Amino acid sequence: MNLLLVGTSHHHAPVELRERLAFGGEAAGALAARLAAGGGEAVALATCNRVCLYLAHDDATEARARATAELQALSDLPAAALESALYVKSGADVALHLFRVAAGLDSMVPGETQILGQVRSAFERADRQGATGPVLHRLFRQALHAGKRVRHETGIAENPASVSSAAAELAARVFDDLGSRTILLVGAGKMAELAAANLLSRGVGRLVVANRSVERAQPLAERFGGRAVGLDALEEQLAGADVVIASTGARELVLTAGQVERALRRRRGTPVFFIDIAVPRDLDPAINDLDGCYLYDIDDLERVVEESVAGRRGEAARAEAIVDEEARAFDAWQRSLDVVPAIAGLRRRAEEIRAAELARARARLVGLSPRELTAVESLTAQIVNKLLHVPTVRLKEAAAAPDGAARADALRYLFDLGDDRP
């Protein structure tokens, strides 16, 4: 099985492209199922910062072509425009990449804690669809283990920065005193909850939560002493909001430039700051062209984040060492998939020969006592074990070497073991 990764991230593509590739929930499981159809394995992961398709397939070329075709269909972009933003990794590089993702080392905010749950959810969705198998089971379980080790053995996630906290930090920079300001949260999901918690810690004065379902927004608003409204009240609430932070899971724009322009007529020139931390974006980019409106999207937050993580460099180095150790362990396991069956086949063939020769000699051994027959059995078994000991040790050592698979193939050829590779 060849390991393959096809994807993109904030390192390679702006939010304008990433939002065209975004998928979530059951769509991720369905995508993984399509990619795994025909005997492969697949997991589809999408977050604000990345879209990654992890694949295990006998034919790496076919797997790559199918993954690229799925992403092209999602983005509705010409192949050439999409290809320039994609990266492809294979073999051991796939494991190292996933382990770094699970540990929060590949995120815009190093050490962010949400990603581990997102990796777990992506794997579980694919698993429920029957899209995973032994290779990706092992890969993702070890990735989750690596992420937990980094969280428990390093301080990279202490007082963690996040996209939500960066949004709150930006709001605090815009207004020296948040106590007299009104913050309008658009969305009532996890990102909105984290943003609200960060804003409250900075002394925000008034908080309004706007959501498609007012019932879902109510608990969040009450928890932080705010007020819940429906999305149909957005224009009305814009008239009194100083900062708007949007983080819904909608596929379409939640707030257009036209809606904002109408609300501005009641603001009498008072500026309003918009922070869009959703992917796909919730806020119309044209809002930034309106007088008195300042719009920041998730990519704009990177500068804020960079300052907040400057003190984590030492912990990041420790986290990288843990991830590298786990990736090497996975690579050794994957290499053993070629070697261990060959060892088992050799021992099985030797035992068949030993048993057959003893059976042929039974007529000449009729005069032996049961105790003596047992001694003959033991003696022949020991001879086989001693003969196979060194080849077994050498092959196990070869499992971690680049030519381990070639040595296993040579063993199969020399002893006519057939092709028993998984």
Q: Are 336 and 342 in contact (CB under 8 A)?
A: no
Beta strands 41-46 and 50-57 are antiparallel
Cβ–Cβ under 8 Å, residues 182 and 241: yes
4 close to 33: Cβ distance less than 8 angstroms: no
Cβ atoms of 5 and 67 within 8 Å: the answer is no
Is residue 48 among the annotated active site residues? Answer: yes
247 contacts: CB under 8 Å, gap ≥ 6: 164, 185, 186, 187, 189, 191, 192, 195, 277, 278, 282
The token pair that represents 339 in the structure block: 């070697």
Q: How far apart are CA 131 and CA 268, in angstroms?
A: 56
Place of tokens 């913050």: 183
Coil, helix or strand at residue 355: helix
Q: Decide: 166 and 113 in contact? Cβ < 8 Å.
A: no
Structure tokens at 63: 């797997």
- Helix/strand/coil for 249: coil
Catalytic residue among 1, 15, 46, 48: 48
Amino acid at 266: R
Residue numbers annotated as active site: 48
